[in-house]
């Protein structure tokens, strides 16, 4: 039976996921650099092939072999044996003799040396960038884990060891499998890859392949290098450093027991599945990763954590009255324990420049994109431009998002259905002024008009409704955006409109919702907010309002509520209000960074 995660288990999993997101960002940047390196390698192959190509573009393997005499070919013994078999099959037996098989190929080795040199130039920078990423991963994990433990125990203290920058180098160089990340990165890039390329080229020459096919063979090797060796190295080293930081923070916080969580694994292996959910003494616990690509993590375990929620009952010492108080944010905690300067330094080091963010954004293909990629994009933009600090500031949000796509659109004059309300048309256009320009044109581009009127409760419909109620009639080839008096209505309902016309946006919203509510049972919203209709049901997760998890067959409230909370936050959304006499607890989208970052990513790519 699938394990239902507690709030605090999710909190510690989010720390691990945040570090894996950083690893993915590094890989994206690495692949961009590798593309340029690939061009240089292909140029060298082209030059090399030009010396031996015949008029039809192919290479005579025997002629090339004669021309390539020189240094020993010890590294290519297997390739020579293979070449011998193919040459014999092609009728070249009279050319074959033992001394000829052992001929030397200095120029092919020269090409291998050239590839080694090109990869060496890239790798020197890659090592430094990966080092910075791992250092940031360690520090961020260490402090956030201490923060989470203190929040869970409701004991805030500045009495803990800070990360020693002088010792951080030795920590990150204590590699997972013996050799440190630097040695493995250099070895992969300047030994394994050049040798694999040279062996591949030798086989191609032996078969008489032409220039184009040899270049394609090289491309395949480079892609395999990126998708396997580099991906394995980055993910595994990041996991190793994250777990090291987590364990050190738990020791510092007096944690005695830890729980193994395999939740982040998409395909859990038998070994990790057997460990999932098991509790160990900290000093005896086996530490993830237990294998390459392992995404398991250790979270502190207290029996009390299973019942602890995100709000606490606290008595005011002056009035004597009790009330629920919210979690302290990570930023507030940093100020409380004197980490503000560390935070600022870390922030400056981790911010990506605008062009790097754009490169990452442009690499995302919405047809195949995952919700994690959108969340990562949002995180980068949020970190660079402080979107969280500007919620509700529409002009500032427009300025930020305009760095990445054209913002501000209007529904074409002939894009409205006859009988639409002038007032609500104006409100919708005023809202589109802060949204991506192409959103305003979706209906028109799809041959549909927009019908709009003011009603007691706003809604979006894929049918063009008209009249005072939805029963009054239908506009041909239209959709409806109905608005209430609430200022948030237009920002909210346009979210449904975008999901309707953009199937990728709908898919990603559904995937994000499934990810956040995995293992949860559907329940009436009124269990948390008493005044909802009993028929309205949700998988509430720990969203800022349970309404976000409301269940539909062909829609979500993820995107629409996110847009509303970003642009028209008001005093926040109702998180809980269990009865008429209970206290109303409200939250803003900035209280859920993962959700906020996903919405930012959707605005930029949706």
Looking at the fold, whether 204 and 331 belong to one and the same domain comes out as no
Distances (CA, A) of 229 to 65, 234, 243: 31, 9, 21
pLDDT bucket at 377, cuts 50 / 70 / 90: confident
Residue 141 has pLDDT above 80, yes or no: yes
Please state which of the ranges 51-65, 192-206, 259-273, 503-517 shows the lowest mean pLDDT. 51-65
Q: Is the pLDDT of residue 56 over 70?
A: no
Pair 422, 514 in one domain: yes
CA 165 remoteness from chain centre: 27
Residue 360's nearest CA partner among 384, 343, 344 is 384
CA distance 451 to 460: 10
The per-residue pLDDT for 205 is 61
Looking at the fold, whether 182 and 319 belong to one and the same domain comes out as: no
Q: What's the structural domain count of the chain?
A: 3
For residue 225, pLDDT over 60 is answered with yes
Tell me which residue range forms the domain holding 460: 413-605
- What single string gives the DSSP state of each residue in 114-149? HHHHHHHHHHHHHHHHHHHHHHHHHHHHHHHHHHHH
Within-domain flag for 408: no
Check whether residue 471 and residue 585 sit in a common domain: yes
Q: Name the domain boundary from 290, 319, 340.
A: 340
Residue 534: CATH number of its domain = 3.40.390
Residue percentage of the chain with pLDDT more than 70: 66
Share of the chain above pLDDT 90, in %: 22
Confidence band of 406 (pLDDT split at 50, 70, 90) = very high
Q: Say whether both 292 and 336 belong to one domain.
A: no
Of 34-43, 207-216, 472-481, 580-589, highest mean pLDDT: 580-589
Q: Quick one: pLDDT at residue 342?
A: 44
Query: Is it true that the peptide bond before 331 is cis, omega within 30 degrees of 0?
Result: no
Radius of gyration of the chain (CA): 30
Residue 94: inside a domain? yes
- Check whether residue 128 and residue 38 sit in a common domain: yes
Q: How far apart are the first and last CA of the chain?
A: 35
Q: What is the pLDDT of residue 314?
A: 38
Residue 386: inside a domain, yes or no? no
Looking at the structure, tell me whether residues 459 and 567 fall in a common domain: yes
Burial of 590 (0-12, 13-18, 19+ CB in 10 A): buried
Average pLDDT over residues 402-428: 93
On whether residue 279 sits in a domain, the answer given is: yes
Mean per-residue pLDDT over the chain, rounded:
75
pLDDT of residue 235: 79
Please give the average per-residue pLDDT across 426-437, as a whole number: 96
Which residues on neighbouring strands pair with residue 491, listed in sequence order? Answer: none
Q: What pLDDT was estimated at residue 411?
A: 95
In a domain, 351, yes or no: no
List pLDDT tens digits, range 293-328. 787 888 888 776 554 444 433 334 445 444 434 455
Q: Do 293 and 326 share a domain, yes or no? A: no
Does residue 431 contact residue 494 with C-beta atoms inside 8 Å?
yes
Q: pLDDT tens digits for 99-136?
A: 333 333 345 555 666 666 666 666 666 777 777 888 88
> Residue 273 above 70 pLDDT?
yes
Which is more confident, 499 or 357? 499
Please name the residue that has the structure tokens 């063979």: 217
The 3-class secondary structure across 528-574, one letter per residue, is CECCCCCCCEECCCCCCCHHHHECCCCCCCHHHHHHHHHHCCCCCEE
Q: Measured between alpha carbons, how far is 257 from 144 in angstroms, rounded to an integer? A: 18
Check residue 302 and give its pLDDT: 75
145 in a domain, yes or no? yes
The band of 174, judged by pLDDT with boundaries at 50, 70 and 90, is: low
Do 270 and 320 lie in a common domain?
A: no
Last residue of a domain, one of 278, 300, 322: 300
Highest mean pLDDT among 1-10, 242-251, 356-365, 447-456: 447-456
Q: List, for residues 506-542, the tens digit of each pLDDT value.
A: 999 999 999 888 888 899 989 998 988 888 888 988 8
Which residue, among 64, 39, 356, 342, has the nearest Cα to 203 in the 3D structure? 64
Phi-psi region of 154 (alpha: psi -120 to 50; beta: other; left: phi over 0): left
550-568 confidence digits (pLDDT tens) = 878 788 999 999 999 999 9
The owner of tokens 């108080």 is 325
Residues sharing a CB contact under 8 Å with residue 163, sequence separation 6 or more, in sequence order: 138, 139, 142, 143, 342
Q: Are residues 202 and 67 in the same domain?
A: yes
Closest by Cα among 604, 591, 564 to 392: 564
Within this chain, do residues 198 and 331 fall inside the same structural domain, yes or no? no
Copy the structure tokens of residue 339: 């980490």
Q: How confident is the model at residue 242 (pLDDT cuts 50, 70, 90)?
A: confident
Between CA 115 and CA 189 the distance in angstroms is: 9
Q: Looking at the structure, tell me whether residues 98 and 243 fall in a common domain.
A: yes
Is 174 a domain residue? yes
pLDDT for 202 equals: 65
| 61 belongs to a structural domain | yes
């Amino acid at each position: 039976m699938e394990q239902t995660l507690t709030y605090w288990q999710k909190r510690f999993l989010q720390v691990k996921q945040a570090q894996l997101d950083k690893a993915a960002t590094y890989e994206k940047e690495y692949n961009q650099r590798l593309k340029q390196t690939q061009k240089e390698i292909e140029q060298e192959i082209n030059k090399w092939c030009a010396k031996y190509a015949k008029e039809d573009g192919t290479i005579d393997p025997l002629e090339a072999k004669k021309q390539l005499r020189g240094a020993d070919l010890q590294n290519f013994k297997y390739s020579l044996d293979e070449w011998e078999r193919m040459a014999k099959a092609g009728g070249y037996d009279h050319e074959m003799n033992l001394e000829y098989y052992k001929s030397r190929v200095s120029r092919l080795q020269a090409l291998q040396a050239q590839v080694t040199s090109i990869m060496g130039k890239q790798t020197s920078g890659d090592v430094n960038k990966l080092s910075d990423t791992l250092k940031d991963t360690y520090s961020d994990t260490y402090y956030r884990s201490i923060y989470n433990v203190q929040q869970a125990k409701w004991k805030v203290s500045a009495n803990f060891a800070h990360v020693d920058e002088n010792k951080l180098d030795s920590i990150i160089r204590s590699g997972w499998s013996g050799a440190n990340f630097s040695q493995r990165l250099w070895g992969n890039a300047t030994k394994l890859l050049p040798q694999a390329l040279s062996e591949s080229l030798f086989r191609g020459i032996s078969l008489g392949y032409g220039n184009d096919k040899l270049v394609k063979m090289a491309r395949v090797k480079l892609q395999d290098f990126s998708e396997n060796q580099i991906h394995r190295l980055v993910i595994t080293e990041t996991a190793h450093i994250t777990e090291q930081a987590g364990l050190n923070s738990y020791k510092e916080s007096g944690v005695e027991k830890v729980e193994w969580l395999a939740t982040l694994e998409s395909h859990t292996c038998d070994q990790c599945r057997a460990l999932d959910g098991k509790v160990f003494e900290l000093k005896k616990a086996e530490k993830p990763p237990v294998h390459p690509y392992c995404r398991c993590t250790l979270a502190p375990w207290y029996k009390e954590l299973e019942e602890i929620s995100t709000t606490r009952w606290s008595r005011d010492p002056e009035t004597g009255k009790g009330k629920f108080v919210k979690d302290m944010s990570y930023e507030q905690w940093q100020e409380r324990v004197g980490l503000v300067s560390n935070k600022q330094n870390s922030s400056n080091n981790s911010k990506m420049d605008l062009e790097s963010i754009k490169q990452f954004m442009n690499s995302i293909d919405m047809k195949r994109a995952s919700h994690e990629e959108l969340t990562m994009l949002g995180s980068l933009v949020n970190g660079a431009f402080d979107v969280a600090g500007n919620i509700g500031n529409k002009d500032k949000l427009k300025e930020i998002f305009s760095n990445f796509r054209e913002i501000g659109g209007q529904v074409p004059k002939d894009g409205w259905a006859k009988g639409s309300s002038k007032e609500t048309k104006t409100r919708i256009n005023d809202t589109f002024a802060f949204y991506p320009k192409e959103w305003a044109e979706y209906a028109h581009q799809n041959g549909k008009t927009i019908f709009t009127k003011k009603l007691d409760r706003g809604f979006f419909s894929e049918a063009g409704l008209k009249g005072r109620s939805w029963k009054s009639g239908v506009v041909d080839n239209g959709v409806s955006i109905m608005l209430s008096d609430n200022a948030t209505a237009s920002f909210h309902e346009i979210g449904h409109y975008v999901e309707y016309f953009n199937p990728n946006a709908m898919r990603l919203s559904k995937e994000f919702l499934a990810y956040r509510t995995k293992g949860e049972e559907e329940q009436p919203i009124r269990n948390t907010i008493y005044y909802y209709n009993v028929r309205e049901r949700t998988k509430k997760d720990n969203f800022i309002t349970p309404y976000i998890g409301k269940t539909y067959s062909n829609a979500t409230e993820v995107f629409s509520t996110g847009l509303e909370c970003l642009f028209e936050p008001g005093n926040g959304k109702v998180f809980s209000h269990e009865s008429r006499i209970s206290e109303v607890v409200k939250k803003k989208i900035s209280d859920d960074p993962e959700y906020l970052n996903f919405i930012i990513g959707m605005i930029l790519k949706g």
